[in-house]
Structure 1
């Protein structure tokens, strides 16, 4: 596609029209066309589901959910690390018009309770291997421990009535997913009729799911999406990457509750392709062994997952020649990592960019020249507009840094029960303010510079985290780097470089500081402090926890944490 921009605005068109489809439409259609083909493979659990079997199980579970009182428009929560259960619940809920709220495993008590209340869940699924989650629920829902009734009596603020689980900690007090599936056998004809009537009422514009943000930009927020948004954005992805029903997608994402993992859940329904899903407990080398055994053509992984695969995946021991594409989603990835992945697997690295609010926004063109796009996150997907604006909201010239705004058919509806936050980021004419700093070039390729608040004001000079990190990665033994702002009497603000090292490398902080002094050409880019970390603190989604890292740095350096609240001017 030939594009020449004169200003930082891009409207991506597509030969693929938007479809007014629901999950039922997609599942019924693909099950009819290719009933015997495998839809999902779960190697760890040794579960393989054909489209025909998938449809049968989804309809059975959907009927069971209706029989226990769930209705179209209700919200069903899920906290699960068990992939087969997750897929079944997700598709069955969508089939009957029940909104699925996805909670990260391991949320702190206060956040989980707040999220449950915000989502207004009437029932909650706890995965079969998540006893810790159930024990946590007993702490935040006192009646869960004492009640012997099938209906949970919580406080007046909560709508939660039922837990669905068979974890040992529950001591058999609640029905499991399979118990609920068996309920439809008692009155199968009425159950089928109820399922048919309910599923026919579901429309493509109905609410589909609630994704929770990672927390990297503040408290958790629940983003509500429709059937149409979810189905169509992955149709745009499939078109951009030229996937067919012969492709086999391996998903190696650790978090099943994140928006990016949804691609592997929905792709089979859209294209009739097969998704191979590794549960979070899978070992690193399972990725390459599954590529070999299942002849996977697409690998989807997070950046940390790709890094670990390169260094601990024993890639040379397996035949990965079937792989055509490696997909990853992050705002910035070191170019040397992209080059190594591409070289080792002999596959193109398809870098995408998105968020819980906007789903996928942009991705690489598979025909694009590697040199032109290696440090960028591609062009916007079809039916998506982007613009880069300055502090006054005016569109800036190409190759000029500003804030990235997005308008598309795939944006979230709103933050649930948070009208003020929604208004802060969504304009009346439909533009979503991402909070990301970016540039767009004359060909429409986007480069993310960092979050708008990710800046250091050092002696009056504005420096962006992404540029600083790029300098820190210039050391050949530095694997990853993060920035923590720190106070400085003369400059007002400086920064601490937090780095982790490759393999068993042993380099002191002082040695790293000396290297940066000798090799970074811009004096302001030399960090005031350097700290070496074995592991960075992480949030539940696998993202680095900036808040925890900052607190650890301030503790180690003996700095006054009050400065973070009252002293920063950025």
Structure 2
């Protein structure tokens, strides 16, 4: 809003030069603090005009505000496990868990791996680590020993939280396979050759040699560590890292991406505004998507804190029938899912027996959604509003390019590695994750990003990369090559390459070949 007012003031100026500057700045959607004759950026920190300001708060701040505003509202319901927590209860558990982690020796900026299905403890430690300044590492619960070792070693996890087992996944057995030294070590002092950073393993449901139990953590945080927790909270910045997510590993080893408090809070804030969480009363979201994905942890967990949602988890793993039963029994008003999850729910043989009249909206994400599925969801499940990604095709391979450009959306910043300050414009810097250090771990992609004075960004690829926008399953390399050949032939027929859309920072318009967001309402 301030930027809009500033632009109008200059536009009403008497000099043609001032009017030209205003038109140029408005066209570029860039706001700077003073009106230069030629709009330039002196720092790589700029933001676009918007009627909704970005939130400069941490995840812990968001939860504190939610607990103060809605103390008696249900924050999370885990139907199969029989767990129900109000915001006040959840906030109290989070502070106890965070203080316990500090007592175990974890410090701000260190990493804790969450490895397991959707349980209350996953949500609990997501917020406990955020409050303590610890970085949550989202580990795929389907990882086998080799994959888990790669992920935990890559990011240098100091602690791992997991159940003993879930279905066929034997988490503690796999950790002992990776680190045979664990049974002989005292809890909290693991010394492993293959995971040199690992010190603690916290088991959720049983006691194991050399490992802590969840109760040990919850009881360890006394008043001294609670005071330390509150002191840390005062020093945390919204630009501090809070979460590391791994890619699927479709075209190689999984690669890590680090998200900050600012990333996840504003992602949740604007997702909620887009679908109306900011004005809908007491929204209850059925959440079958996994918490180790951004869809579940940010679209679910962080949205809960930012917008006061009540999250309903039907089961630890996906079950279409459990989802329908939970929507009926818990009177859910919204439902999340990937396209394949919605296909499964709409094709359940007894779907029409469930009373889904309370469900008014849904989000289909994770991959592009065909129009036929939207129609099926609205007709079979009776959902009136659906928001998701509109696909240009069933599978889309974003074209490889030496560089691409994109205009600023809201705010974009670039910082010197290891320093909490913006770099000058025109200064190319390797794209490191926030709080990287230690030789770029985690993770340095090798690309260079150059902020130009007119407010645009060029990314020069440090290596050849393939980006796959897929449905919910991996494609083999041979299939990738076939898709690439088809798309290459299509581009030659249609003309020059189209640009790519970056998640969360797309340009104002959508060009040919990009995935765009749709919102369907009856």
Aligned partners of 2:407 and 2:252: how far apart in 1? Answer: 19
Residue 205 of structure 1 aligns with which residue? 239
- Bigger RCO (CA 8 Å, 6+ sep): 2
Contact 2:339 2:367 in 1 (8 A): no
Residue 147 of structure 1 aligns with which residue? 185
Specify which of 168, 177, 180 is matched with residue 214 of structure 2. 177
Deviations 1:84-126 (A, max 9, x none): 0101111000011001111111323322212111111111111
Specify which of 426, 432, 450 is matched with residue 428 of structure 1. 450
Pairwise CA distance, 1:332: 2.7
Q: Where in structure 2 are the equivalents of 1:194-233 lying within 5 Å?
A: 194-233=228-267
Pairwise CA distance, 1:25: 1.0
What is the TM-score normalised by the length of structure 1? 0.63
Residue 502 of structure 1 aligns with which residue? none
Pairwise CA distance, 1:393: 4.7
Aligned partners of 2:294 and 2:155: how far apart in 1? Answer: 17
Change beyond 3 A, Cα 1:340–1:166 = closer
Contact 2:190 2:200 in 1 (8 A): yes
Aligned partners of 1:277 and 1:223: how far apart in 2? Answer: 26
Contact 2:295 2:366 in 1 (8 A): no
Pairwise CA distance, 1:210: 0.3
Pairwise CA distance, 1:29: 1.1
Deviations 1:155-182 (A, max 9, x none): 28621111111455x6354222222111
Deviations 1:330-357 (A, max 9, x none): 433332222111212232453435xxxx
Contact 2:72 2:86 in 1 (8 A): yes
Change beyond 3 A, Cα 1:306–1:405 = farther
Aligned partners of 2:172 and 2:57: how far apart in 1? Answer: 36
Aligned partners of 1:174 and 1:420: how far apart in 2? Answer: 26
Aligned partners of 2:172 and 2:191: how far apart in 1? Answer: 16
Equivalent pairs, count: 401
Change beyond 3 A, Cα 1:183–1:140 = same
1:462 maps onto 2:489 in alignment: yes
Change beyond 3 A, Cα 1:150–1:19 = closer
What is the TM-score normalised by the length of structure 2? 0.69
Residue 286 of structure 1 aligns with which residue? 322
Residue 477 of structure 1 aligns with which residue? none
Contact 2:161 2:204 in 1 (8 A): no
Q: Where in structure 2 are the equivalents of 1:406-445 lying within 5 Å?
A: 409=411, 414=433, 422-425=444-447, 427-429=449-451
What is the alpha-carbon root mean square deviation over aligned residues? Answer: 3.4
Change beyond 3 A, Cα 1:454–1:70 = farther
In structure 1, list runs of 5 or more residues that go unmatched.
1-8, 354-373, 378-387, 396-403, 439-450, 465-570
Contact 1:124 1:163 in 2 (8 A): yes
**Residue 51 of structure 2: SS of its match in structure 1?**
coil
Aligned partners of 2:386 and 2:212: how far apart in 1? Answer: 42
Residue 197 of structure 2 aligns with which residue? 159
Pairwise CA distance, 1:424: 4.6
**Residue 320 of structure 2: SS of its match in structure 1?**
coil
Aligned partners of 1:264 and 1:420: how far apart in 2? Answer: 25
In structure 2, list runs of 5 or more residues that go unmatched.
1-27, 31-47, 414-430, 452-456, 470-478, 492-522
Q: Where in structure 2 are the equivalents of 1:36-55 lying within 5 Å?
A: 36-55=72-91
Aligned partners of 1:108 and 1:393: how far apart in 2? Answer: 36
Contact 1:232 1:410 in 2 (8 A): no
Aligned partners of 2:400 and 2:248: how far apart in 1? Answer: 26
Residue 256 of structure 1 aligns with which residue? 291
Specify which of 227, 241, 245 is matched with residue 275 of structure 2. 241
Contact 2:403 2:458 in 1 (8 A): no
Aligned partners of 1:69 and 1:100: how far apart in 2? Answer: 15
- Which 4+ stretches in 1 moved above 6 angstroms? 9-12, 404-408, 451-454
Change beyond 3 A, Cα 1:173–1:323 = same
Residue 34 of structure 1 aligns with which residue? 70
Residue 3 of structure 1 aligns with which residue? none
Please identify which structure carries the higher strand content: 1
Pairwise CA distance, 1:223: 0.6
Specify which of 338, 342, 349 is matched with residue 302 of structure 1. 338
Change beyond 3 A, Cα 1:198–1:437 = closer
Specify which of 306, 310, 317 is matched with residue 274 of structure 1. 310
Pairwise CA distance, 1:129: 4.0
Pairwise CA distance, 1:456: 4.8
Specify which of 108, 112, 130 is matched with residue 148 of structure 2. 112
Specify which of 158, 177, 181 is matched with residue 122 of structure 1. 158
Contact 2:160 2:201 in 1 (8 A): yes
Deviations 1:502-524 (A, max 9, x none): xxxxxxxxxxxxxxxxxxxxxxx
Pairwise CA distance, 1:289: 1.4
Pairwise CA distance, 1:238: 1.0
Aligned partners of 1:350 and 1:436: how far apart in 2? Answer: 26
Pairwise CA distance, 1:453: 6.3
Deviations 1:197-217 (A, max 9, x none): 122221111110100111123
1:71 maps onto 2:107 in alignment: yes
Aligned partners of 1:62 and 1:113: how far apart in 2? Answer: 25
Pairwise CA distance, 1:319: 0.9
Change beyond 3 A, Cα 1:199–1:147 = same
